[in-house]
Structure 1
Amino acid sequence: MRTLCASTLLGEFFVIGFAGLVAMKLDDASMAAVWTVCGAGMLLSLLLCGMITRPGGIQLGWTFQVALVLSGFVVPMMFILGLIFGGLWWASVHYGRKIDEAKARWADQQARQETGGAAA
């Protein structure tokens, strides 16, 4: 699960950076404000890559996805991109867990074969 979720967050890192470039063209926000918010979002996406397997990491990821969608109030295209990445986040968590379960079953089978088929 970690690899899939980290890949999604890494993609968001770049999307946030590009959204910052778009937001710079807005008359309502100063360049310092845009890059403070975007820089914090980019940093948070990288930090979340390392927190995925820790308690609460997935929930923080969901919070981050909601914040990404809400950023659409500043850059409207982020509504669409936020929803796309929210779907990718769901898929990463859902299928990542299934992959982790399959790996655990396979490792258990391998361990049983090495011990001569004895039940654990």
Structure 2
Amino acid sequence: MRTLCASTLIGEFFVIGFAGLVAMKSDELSMTAVWTVCGIGMLLSVLLCGMIGRPGGVQLGWALQIALIASGFVVPTMFFLGAIFAGLWWASVHYGRKIDETKARWAAQAPSEPDAA
């Protein structure tokens, strides 16, 4: 699960950065505000890569997905991209868990290796 989720989060890192570039064109937003919010989002996406296996890591990932969709109020394209990444996040968590269960089952069925002494 960690690999799939981390891949999704790294993709979000870049999308958040590009959304910041688009948001800079708005006359209503200061550059400081745009890059503070985008910087926090980008940092969170990278930090979450290491927190996926820990308690609450997946839930924080969902919070990031909600924030990504909500950023559509500033950059309307983010409604679409946020929904796409929320779907990718769901798939990463869902299928990642299935892969982890299958690996654990295979490891339990594998014969133990004899000592090479």
Q: TM-score with structure 1 length normalisation?
A: 0.92
Q: 2:93 maps to which residue?
A: 93
Q: 1:114 aligns with which of 101, 112, 116?
A: 112
Identity of aligned residues (%): 79
- Match of residue 74 from structure 2: 74
How far off is 1:55 after superposition? 0.3
Q: Once the 2 structures are TM-superposed, how far is the Cα of residue 74 of structure 1 from its aligned partner?
A: 0.4
Cα deviation for residue 98 of structure 1 reads: 0.3
Q: What is the Cα-based RMSD across aligned positions, in Å? A: 1.2
The Cα of 1:114 is off from its aligned counterpart by 2.5
1:32 CA drift (Å):
0.9
In the TM superposition, structure 1's runs of 4+ consecutive aligned residues that sit over 3 Å from their partners are none
2:49 is matched with which residue?
49
Q: For 1:50 and 1:28, locate their aligned partners in 2 and report how far apart those are by CA, in whole Å.
A: 35
Q: Which runs of 5+ in 2 are unaligned?
A: none
Kindly tell me the number of residue pairs found equivalent between the two proteins: 114
Query: C-alpha distance in 2, partners of 1:64/1:114?
Result: 42
- Shift of residue 50, structure 1, vs aligned partner: 0.6
Give the aligned partner of residue 118 of structure 1. Answer: none
5+ unaligned residues in a row in structure 1: which ranges? Answer: 116-120
Do structure 1's residue 105 and structure 2's residue 105 form an aligned pair?
Answer: yes
